[in-house]
Structure 1
Amino acid sequence: MNYHPDTYQALSFGDARERFLAGTQRPSEFLASCLETIRQREPVVKAWVVLNEAGARAAAEESDRRYRAGKPLSQIDGMPVGIKDLIETKDMPTQMGSPAYAGSFPKRDSALVRALRDAGAIILGKTVTTALGFLDPGPTTNAFDPQRTPGGSSSGSGAAVGAGMVPVAIGSQLVGSVLRPASFNANWALKPTFGGINRGERLGYSQSHVGIHAGCAQDMWATAMEIVTRVGGDPGHPGLYGGLSAPQPEKPRRLAVMETEGWPRLDAASRNAFEALLERLRGEGVEIVRRSDLLLLEIFEQSIATATDNMLRLISWEQRWSLENLVEQHPGTLGPSLLRQLEGGRGVTLETFRQDLALRDLARQRLAALAGHCDALISPASCGPAPRFDATRDTPYPTGDVSFSCVSSYLGAPAVAAPLLSVDGMPFGVQFIGQPHEDERVTAIARWAAQ
């Protein structure tokens, strides 16, 4: 499928909801169209671990009745949603992409899943994740080319939305697991301020986030806020700030280009597409600041130049005990990247962990220092379009380079991926990063850029 942002028609729940309110379509009919798309495309895309079709149809009929009575529960009542298979659902197993959890069925809802149900959303199924949400890939293919990776770890969520199977899917990001699949599959995606969306049972890491994949910015924001309104952010965190509806587009005065350690690895076609976007923004009166223009930006770039290695060491320390348990209790179930991560964790000392925490804190301070100098950072959301499987299979990153998408996790800052570009007929996303708790503003800026 040849992709171009000007011609691609993403699935929009907001448009469908207008039809529900007008009585020209029912939620059950919209669900049926999603199921038909899944029937047609799932044999190749392989985005789903399990579907609860009967439960989804029953939930859609309940939504039909509410709309007929003029009493929908929320702006996402009747919306089919996919849930990444790291997140617990009471009516489907949670197997985490790992044979160690095959058949695991906790029979409880994560906080965000309960919030979605309470808002009237239809929990359609569980989407494929890489093993334990790390780097060993599952069976999913890219929504636009089956020979290419969908990204990870939210591979099924990104591909399901890109393929038009559902308007929204829930993902999570520890390194780059929301923004990179979004870039590869033409999704809008919100990776919120750290702690901005309640992670429920998944509170084991100091930089993991719940994120939203969607076909449009309006659905992305509405879903996030309907969750947060009901269950807030992580314990001790205030959750996302903003209105229930997506903010209106906001033209930025100044954007700072963030290069990251991935800039030298950006291929010529992708770099040219990104530079052309910057020229269009300049033409609209937006000042574009580069690292050579502003010393504080150069200092910030220096503090994220080793972000990937720093954050992987932090994760390996925080993850080590759980991987040791899996090796002991389920020998032979860890894939190569998780085994490398475990070996790395065994070599991390407490002093090294403390040093990496200090480096992360320094990077966050340097981001804060940029607050008065730009309205947001702008960069590619991935190191080019999705690579082919045969080009990444034997690399440290079989689901694609993480260098662009990992930075906002490292910073704990909000990021929005927007499907603004195409390279060689494939999606290539752009990300906007703001100061912590500026999720709404970053979304408004991304919406303006998309115009």
Structure 2
Amino acid sequence: MEASQLNWLSASDAARAIRDGAITSEQLVEACLARIREAEPQVQAWHYLDPEHALAQARALDEQHREGRPAGALHGVPMGIKDIIDTRDMPTEDGTVLHAGRTPARDANVVAMLRAAGAVIMGKTVTTECAYYHPGKTRNPHNPEHTPGGSSSGSAAAVAAGMVPLARGRPTNGAGIRPASFCGVYGFKPTHGLIPRYGILRLSRALDHVGLFSRSIEDLALLAEQLVGHDERDSDTRPRARVPFTATAAQEPPMPPLLAFVKGPVWDRAAEETREAYAELVEELGDRVTQIELPESAAAALDWHRTIMEAEMAANLEAEWERGRDRLSEPLRSLMERGREIRALDYQKALARITLLNEGFGEIFERFDAIVTPPAAGSAPKGLGSTGDPAFCTLWTLLGTPAVTAPLMKGANGLPLGVQLVGPRHGDARLLRTARWLVNRLED
């Protein structure tokens, strides 16, 4: 591959090439920076980028390689970090003027893990305001008149535009899956609590996940494998054996997976292009997919999610409310006003529903390897005043189940239309294996 095209390498291929001495990290980072210079004026994926700092990291990693020192699985591979994730050497401003100039004293746990694995932290990608709905400056790489989604808009767009092979986000209500679908990349929301969240802007302990973006299933597995762990500062994580994401995702399933096609409680919001595309998908999969109806309680999940999210966001952003509510966007200010009025009884009842809902889905996951369902109402909407409707991801975020979206279809306007797979809690590696099977099945 020509040096000018190295930015399109997958993370897995790039790591192998660096390890084998075929390329250097500096060459890869230079190619990514060249692509950023070319595409950034239109896409606007980056909130903070210091090219010299990125190159300095790459040169230091190349020197380690020449000295024969141990190298991590992501040695020399550049990646983008959403601007709600703390970085000790770069600002983390959370998409709000209230945090302008904020530079943390230490890395978030996941950033420290990435550095330990040898990743080059390229810069900070654009987020919506406090990772909520108010859009940032980023445009969809496929058509700048359309939204890239949110809140991880810059992360998804940077990967889709070939600026970096990997990026990190943090979904609370579809903020990873939806922009991945809109931008035509792979997005992965692991099981709630699988990856520690210390050092990431906290909106909702019950709903915050860590999101991953890449251009292949193999890369999602490689990245996830570096990040799973226990952190006593995140009480939703647990000590656990290392999950063999890469090996499991690369395996052939012991038998072709069985999928459950779920329209979900908001199917009435699905665009015609989505209805037609999923009808064709079901027909293509034949006897490997069965359409099922969800329990009646699934319809109430959106209200329970809203109660939890609004109450917890109002509490977690209390300092911002007291310090500068007049400088918050109207959508965020309205959410916090509603959250401050939620009764403790209603909040606790909504929290209790999460466990009951998961028990109800146990029977489905005993029969099926995964659920297949849309990640969004359709392809990326035109206009930049909204990041799109997150409702197709709300149920799965509330449940804390792993979800992955693959760029396997296109909408009527030619923009990407993702296919979302949802698996049982802690079935993350097997879900990636199922997703890989589906990609191979549809691309053959």
Aligned to 1:441: 430
Aligned to 1:6: none
| Structure 2 CA distance for partners of 1:160 and 1:72, relative to 1, 3 Å | farther
Unaligned runs of 5+ residues in structure 2 are 1-6
Q: Secondary structure at the match of 1:338?
A: helix
| Structure 2 CA distance for partners of 1:253 and 1:17, relative to 1, 3 Å | closer
| Structure 1 letter corresponding to 2:378 | G
Aligned to 1:377: 371
Q: Is the 8 A contact 1:11 1:166 kept in 2?
A: no
| Structure 2 CA distance for partners of 1:36 and 1:364, relative to 1, 3 Å | same
| Structure 2 CA distance for partners of 1:190 and 1:271, relative to 1, 3 Å | same
Deviation of 1:290 (Å): 1.5
| Structure 2 CA distance for partners of 1:229 and 1:359, relative to 1, 3 Å | closer
Aligned to 1:425: 414
1:98-157 C-alpha deviation (Å, 9 max, x unpaired): 011111112310011011111110001001111111111111111211011111111110
Deviation of 1:16 (Å): 2.1
- Rounded to whole Å, the distance in 1 between the matches of 2:232 and 2:65 is 26
Q: TM-score, normalised by structure 2?
A: 0.91
- Of 151, 158, 161 in structure 1, the residue corresponding to residue 159 of structure 2 is 161
Deviation of 1:11 (Å): 4.3
1:280-336 C-alpha deviation (Å, 9 max, x unpaired): 222xx51x2212xxxxx432xx22213333212111111213444323212422111
Aligned to 1:126: 124
Q: Is the 8 A contact 2:46 2:123 kept in 1?
A: yes
Deviation of 1:253 (Å): 3.4
Q: Secondary structure at the match of 2:170?
A: strand
Aligned to 2:3: none
- Rounded to whole Å, the distance in 1 between the matches of 2:207 and 2:376 is 19
- Rounded to whole Å, the distance in 2 between the matches of 1:226 and 1:406 is 27
Q: Secondary structure at the match of 1:196?
A: coil
- Rounded to whole Å, the distance in 2 between the matches of 1:359 and 1:10 is 44
- Rounded to whole Å, the distance in 1 between the matches of 2:256 and 2:269 is 28
Q: Is the 8 A contact 2:177 2:375 kept in 1?
A: yes
Kindly indicate whether residue 360 of structure 2 is the aligned counterpart of residue 366 of structure 1: yes
1:224-280 C-alpha deviation (Å, 9 max, x unpaired): 111226969944424685215252243543211121222111112222112212222
Unaligned runs of 5+ residues in structure 1 are 1-8, 292-296
Percent identity between matched residues is 36
| Structure 2 letter corresponding to 1:401 | D
1:38-63 C-alpha deviation (Å, 9 max, x unpaired): 10111111111101322211111122
Aligned to 2:291: 290
- Rounded to whole Å, the distance in 1 between the matches of 2:403 and 2:116 is 27
Kindly indicate whether residue 349 of structure 2 is the aligned counterpart of residue 348 of structure 1: no
Kindly indicate whether residue 219 of structure 2 is the aligned counterpart of residue 219 of structure 1: yes
Q: Secondary structure at the match of 1:242?
A: coil
| Structure 2 CA distance for partners of 1:233 and 1:121, relative to 1, 3 Å | farther
1:209-232 C-alpha deviation (Å, 9 max, x unpaired): 011111111111111111226969
Aligned to 1:151: 149
Quick check: 410-419 or 250-259, which moved more? 250-259
Q: Is the 8 A contact 2:134 2:332 kept in 1?
A: yes
Quick check: 118-127 or 339-348, which moved more? 339-348
- Rounded to whole Å, the distance in 2 between the matches of 1:167 and 1:308 is 33
Aligned to 1:12: 10
Q: Is the 8 A contact 1:31 1:80 kept in 2?
A: yes
- Rounded to whole Å, the distance in 1 between the matches of 2:191 and 2:23 is 36
Aligned length: 427
Give runs of ≥4 in structure 1 deviating > 6 Å.
230-233
Q: Is the 8 A contact 2:128 2:134 kept in 1?
A: yes
Quick check: 239-248 or 101-110, which moved more? 239-248
- Rounded to whole Å, the distance in 2 between the matches of 1:72 and 1:429 is 38
Aligned to 1:276: 280
- Rounded to whole Å, the distance in 2 between the matches of 1:221 and 1:232 is 24
Kindly indicate whether residue 393 of structure 2 is the aligned counterpart of residue 399 of structure 1: no
Quick check: 28-37 or 201-210, which moved more? 201-210
Deviation of 1:371 (Å): 2.4
| Structure 2 letter corresponding to 1:226 | Q
Q: Is the 8 A contact 1:11 1:215 kept in 2?
A: no
- Rounded to whole Å, the distance in 2 between the matches of 1:350 and 1:71 is 54
Quick check: 223-232 or 369-378, which moved more? 223-232
Quick check: 147-156 or 352-361, which moved more? 352-361
- Rounded to whole Å, the distance in 1 between the matches of 2:319 and 2:334 is 15
- Of 97, 100, 114 in structure 2, the residue corresponding to residue 99 of structure 1 is 97
Q: TM-score, normalised by structure 1?
A: 0.90
